[in-house]
């Protein structure tokens, strides 16, 4: 297994040395830091109440032939493959509207039997 890692590390070093895009470089470092991390629980910040957009574009995206993954990506969001980390290609897109709020009802499996 370690023999398989060395060519990958060499390719990463070459990629870092060749890239002039500082965002790409920082993104690659962040991924490497994440890969080198421990199994400690992630410390997430307290999230403010979000304002959801009323309309949003969703793109059906595919990864490389060698990966074979596909996903629906939100416009403006990350375009990287969750499986291999590669850049995904957006093949089709559609616009979605926020559904109107409906009164909340208990889920059928949670309703009490009377
Ligand atoms: Zn992929």
pLDDT in tens, the chain (114 residues): 678 889 988 988 898 888 888 887 888 888 888 888 877 788 899 999 999 999 999 999 999 999 999 999 998 888 889 898 889 999 999 999 999 887 766 666 654 444
Q: How far is the CA of 64 from the centre of ligand 1 (A)?
A: 6
CA of 69 to the centre of ligand 1 (A): 5
Tell how far the Cα of 84 is from the centroid of ligand 1, in angstroms: 4
Pinpoint the alpha helices (H) of the chain. 2-18, 22-35
The pLDDT of residue 57: 96
| Alpha-carbon span 98 to 59, nearest angstrom | 16
Distance, CA 12 to ligand 1 centroid (Å)?
17
Whole-prediction pTM value?
0.62
Q: How far is the CA of 68 from the centre of ligand 1 (A)?
A: 6
Return the pLDDT at 113.
Answer: 46
Give Rg (Cα) of the chain.
Answer: 20
Model pLDDT, residue 66: 95
Residue 81, number of CB atoms within 10 A of its CB: 20
Cα–ligand 1 centroid distance for 112 (angstroms) = 45
Residue 25: per-residue pLDDT: 84
Q: Could you tell me where the DSSP H helices lie in 53-105?
A: none
Between the CA of 35 and the centroid of ligand 1 the distance, in Å, is 16
């Amino acid at each position: 297994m370690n023999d398989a890692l060395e060519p990958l590390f060499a390719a990463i070093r070459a990629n870092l040395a060749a890239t002039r895009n500082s965002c790409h470089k920082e993104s690659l470092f962040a991924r490497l830091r994440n890969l080198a991390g421990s199994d400690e629980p992630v410390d997430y910040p307290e999230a403010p109440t979000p304002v959801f957009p009323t309309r949003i574009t969703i793109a059906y995206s595919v990864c490389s032939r060698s990966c074979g993954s596909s996903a629906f990506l939100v416009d403006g969001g990350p375009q990287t493959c969750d499986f291999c980390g590669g850049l995904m290609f957006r093949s089709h897109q559609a616009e979605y509207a926020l559904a109107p709020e409906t009164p909340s009802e208990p889920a059928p499996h949670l309703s009490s039997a009377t």
